[in-house]
């Protein structure tokens, strides 16, 4: 077993008191996924983690981080007792950061955080031992948990940092003590909690407060709020990426059904590389990733080649072939699963991908392959939510679609403005559309499902998958 935490180190980090000696190989907050040898952290959320300490120990946890001995737990159980479990987790993360020489990259942005984090995992793990959270652990417990899990001998670490309200990013960035801070973009997301996109930019730029004195900021130069980000980074070295900058410039992006071909320039050198999925927004993030690799002093040429191995995380633009007839390989549709989240910027990107796709004729009951959009509500947009949904009708990509199905009371405002020939079904909830998918899609179609997580259009994705046999 590789020891991540000894009882002594954990007590030093947290100021807690050990009830016995132990050594842990990992850190867990969930008994459903806990591994033997993990330190179980009894956080309070919807349920109190102390209620699960007994189960965690029965499953082989090395010890439990608690404020008291829970009922049913033996007197000799390996417990690390602290005053506040969340604060103790933060202290574990802080201690883990201080004891490693890893170069730490922090990633934030209104769109593309997780995809960019995974791109960085793909390229950096080829150049050194790389620590990255397996999920979107980007909040007040996710960031310290990711840090607490970081091996002491890591070469690189990538920390995703998110927010829903003002004041959340700076404390997490300071905890991570960043060598590189990257902002993918700033867009209209979480507007319920912010007065404007400028206010969102101010909050996103707070990641720079976590930069070490020698740290560098990697910033998107194309966005309207770039000046806010640059102002926040004035005391640090800045590397810009985008179509208008001379640092890492996106020269050309070509999309087809299966790949994105990108040409970029930096330091007078041209980089030509590919991604295994279509997406202009993916191309921009990929060039930002190369800027981060450059800032780290790692091998950029190798990273550009390795980017082809990256695939989007589930629900963030993955392309799947759904074979509707096991006896006929050609009787299939293409599903674009972008149902994890949505805001106006990511919606525009997803619509462009669908418009660039090529349906297949002559393989389904309808004979003509179609571009079909199934769109769910974009949530947390504040007072502008209706107008932002209505504005989708003006997106240039809409002309290329055969039919648009709308899910949710906000998307109804878009549906009402669509040309009659493009109006598909319009329902207030995903459940009402889910049962109709068999008659709404056909072999040869390319089907995009996009919406905020709360719209539950991911259940429609599952229903389409259940029509046949899935291939990535």
> Is pLDDT at 234 greater than 70 in this prediction?
yes
Nearest 5°: phi and psi at 204? -65, -40
> Is pLDDT at 76 greater than 90 in this prediction?
yes
What is the predicted pLDDT for the residue at 470?
Answer: 57
- What average pLDDT does the segment 92-106 reach? 98
Confidence of residue 363 (pLDDT cuts 50, 70, 90): confident
Contact between residue 157 and residue 104 where contact means Cβ atoms under 8 Å apart: yes
> Is pLDDT at 416 greater than 60 in this prediction?
yes
Confidence of residue 120 (pLDDT cuts 50, 70, 90): very high
> Is pLDDT at 459 greater than 90 in this prediction?
yes
What is the predicted pLDDT for the residue at 468?
Answer: 85
Give the list of residues 6+ apart from residue 141 with CB closer than 8 angstroms, or none: 29, 43, 45, 86, 89
Nearest 5°: phi and psi at 415? -55, -40
Q: What is the 3-state secondary structure (H, E, C) of the chain?
A: CCCCEEHHHHHHHHCCEECCCCEECEEECCCCCCCCCEEEECCECCCEHHHHHHHHHHCCCCEEEECCCCCCCCCCCCEEECCCHHHHHHHHHHHHHHCCCCEEEEEECCCCHHHHHHHHHHHHCCCCCEEECCCCCCCCCHHHHHHHCCCCCCCEEEEECCCCCCCCHHHHHHHHCEEEEEECCCCCCCHHHCCCHHHHHHHHHHHHHHEEEEEEEEEECCCCCHHHHHHHCCCCEEEEEECCCCCEEEEEEEECCCCEEEEEEECCEEEEEEECCCCHHHHHHHHHHHHHHHHHCCCHHHHHHHHHHCCCCCCCCEEEEEECCCCCCCCEEEEEEECCCCCHHHHHHHHHHHHCCCCCCCCCCCCCCCEEEEEECCCCCHHHHHHHHHHHHHCHHHHHCCEEEEECCCHHHHHCCCCHHHEEEEECCHHHHHCCHHHHCCCCCEEEEECCHHHCCHHHHHHHHCCCEEEC
- What average pLDDT does the segment 227-251 reach? 96
> Is pLDDT at 472 greater than 60 in this prediction?
no
60 or 469, greater pLDDT: 60
- What average pLDDT does the segment 239-251 reach? 95
- What average pLDDT does the segment 228-243 reach? 97
What is the predicted pLDDT for the residue at 135?
Answer: 83
- What average pLDDT does the segment 206-228 reach? 97
What is the predicted pLDDT for the residue at 471?
Answer: 58
What is the predicted pLDDT for the residue at 469?
Answer: 63
> Is pLDDT at 326 greater than 80 in this prediction?
no
Give the list of residues 6+ apart from residue 231 with CB closer than 8 angstroms, or none: 205
Confidence of residue 39 (pLDDT cuts 50, 70, 90): very high
Q: Using alpha carbons, list the distances in angstroms from residue 187 to 115, 171, 178, 347, 433.
A: 16, 22, 23, 11, 29
What is the predicted pLDDT for the residue at 465?
Answer: 94
Give the list of residues 6+ apart from residue 439 with CB closer than 8 angstroms, or none: none
> Is pLDDT at 148 greater than 90 in this prediction?
yes
314 or 205, greater pLDDT: 205
What is the predicted pLDDT for the residue at 83?
Answer: 97
Q: Give the residues across from 216 on adjacent strands.
A: 180, 237
What is the predicted pLDDT for the residue at 45?
Answer: 85
- pTM listed for this prediction: 0.89
pLDDT, one tens digit per residue, over 251-279 is 999 998 789 999 999 999 999 999 999 99
User: Which of 328, 321, 316 is closest to 470 using CA atoms?
Assistant: 321
- What average pLDDT does the segment 352-371 reach? 91
Q: How far is the C-alpha of 359 from the C-alpha of 368, rounded, in Å?
A: 8
Which residues in 365-374 are b (16+ Cβ under 10 Å) and which e? eeeebbbbbb
> Is pLDDT at 239 greater than 70 in this prediction?
yes
Q: How far is the C-alpha of 50 from the C-alpha of 367, rounded, in Å?
A: 59
pLDDT, one tens digit per residue, over 373-415 is 999 999 989 889 999 999 999 999 999 999 999 999 999 999 9
pLDDT, one tens digit per residue, over 153-204 is 999 999 999 998 899 999 999 999 999 999 999 988 777 778 899 999 999 9
- What average pLDDT does the segment 284-299 reach? 98
The total of other beta-carbon atoms located within 10 Å of residue 348's CB is 18
Nearest 5°: phi and psi at 57? -70, -35
- Angle ∠(353,123,30) on CA atoms, nearest 5: 85
The total of other beta-carbon atoms located within 10 Å of residue 96's CB is 26
Give the list of residues 6+ apart from residue 213 with CB closer than 8 angstroms, or none: none
312 or 418, greater pLDDT: 418
Write the Ramachandran bin of 97: left for phi over 0, alpha for psi from -120 to 50, otherwise beta.
alpha
What is the predicted pLDDT for the residue at 195?
Answer: 81
User: How many percent of the chain have pLDDT more than 70?
Assistant: 98
- 437-441 contacts: CB < 8 A, separation 24 or more? 437/463, 437/464, 437/467, 438/467, 440/372, 440/374, 440/405, 441/333, 441/372, 441/467
> Is pLDDT at 136 greater than 90 in this prediction?
no
How is the beta sheet containing 79-81 ordered, strand by strand? 17-18, 79-81, 63-66, 38-41, 26-28
Write the Ramachandran bin of 368: left for phi over 0, alpha for psi from -120 to 50, otherwise beta.
beta
User: How many percent of the chain have pLDDT more than 90?
Assistant: 87
First-last CA distance in the chain? 35
């Amino acid at each position: 077993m590789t020891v991540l935490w000894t009882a002594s180190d954990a007590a030093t980090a947290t100021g807690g008191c050990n009830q016995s000696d132990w050594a842990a190989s990992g850190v867990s907050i969930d008994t459903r996924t806990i591994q033997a040898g993990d330190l179980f952290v009894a956080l309070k959320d919807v349920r109190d983690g102390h209620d699960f300490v007994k189960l965690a120990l029965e499953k082989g946890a090395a010890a439990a981080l608690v404020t008291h001995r829970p009922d049913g737990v033996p007197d000799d159980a390996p417990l690390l007792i602290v005053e506040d479990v969340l604060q103790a987790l933060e202290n574990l993360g802080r201690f883990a950061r201080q004891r490693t020489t890893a170069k730490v990259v922090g990633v934030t942005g209104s769109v593309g955080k997780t995809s960019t984090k995974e791109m960085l995992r793909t390229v950096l793990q080829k150049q050194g031992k790389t620590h990255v959270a397996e999920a979107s652990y980007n909040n007040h417990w996710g960031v310290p948990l990711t840090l607490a899990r970081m091996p002491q001998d890591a070469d690189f670490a990538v920390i995703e940092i998110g927010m829903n309200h003002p004041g959340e990013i700076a404390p997490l960035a300071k905890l991570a003590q960043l060598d590189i801070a990257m902002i993918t973009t700033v867009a209209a997301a979480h507007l319920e909690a912010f007065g404007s996109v400028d206010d969102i930019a101010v909050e996103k730029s707070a990641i720079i407060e976590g930069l070490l004195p020698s740290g560098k900021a990697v910033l998107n130069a194309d966005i309207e709020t770039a000046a806010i980000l640059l102002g926040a980074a004035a005391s640090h070295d800045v590397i810009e990426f985008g179509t208008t900058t001379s640092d890492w410039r996106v020269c050309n992006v070509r999309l087809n059904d299966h790949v994105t071909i990108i040409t970029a320039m930096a330091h007078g050198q041209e980089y030509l590389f590919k991604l295994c999925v279509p997406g202009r927004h993916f191309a921009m993030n990929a060039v930002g990733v190369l800027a981060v690799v450059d800032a780290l002093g790692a091998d950029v040429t190798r990273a550009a080649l390795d980017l082809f191995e990256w695939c989007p995380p589930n629900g963030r633009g993955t392309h799947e072939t759904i074979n509707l007839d096991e006896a006929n390989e050609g009787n299939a549709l293409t599903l674009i699963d972008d149902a994890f989240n949505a805001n106006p910027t990511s919606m525009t990107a997803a619509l462009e991908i669908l418009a660039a796709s090529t349906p297949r004729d002559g393989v389904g009951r309808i004979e003509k392959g179609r571009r079909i959009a199934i769109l769910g509500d974009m949530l947390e947009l504040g007072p502008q939510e209706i107008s932002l949904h209505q504005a989708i009708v003006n997106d240039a990509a809409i002309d290329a679609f055969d039919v648009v199905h709308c899910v949710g009371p906000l998307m109804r405002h878009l549906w009402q403005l669509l040309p009659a020939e493009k109006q598909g079904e319009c329902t207030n909830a995903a459940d009402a559309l889910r049962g109709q998918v068999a008659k709404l899609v056909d072999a040869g179609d390319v089907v995009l499902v996009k919406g905020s997580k709360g719209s539950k259009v991911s259940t429609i994705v599952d229903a389409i998958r259940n029509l046949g046999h899935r291939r990535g």
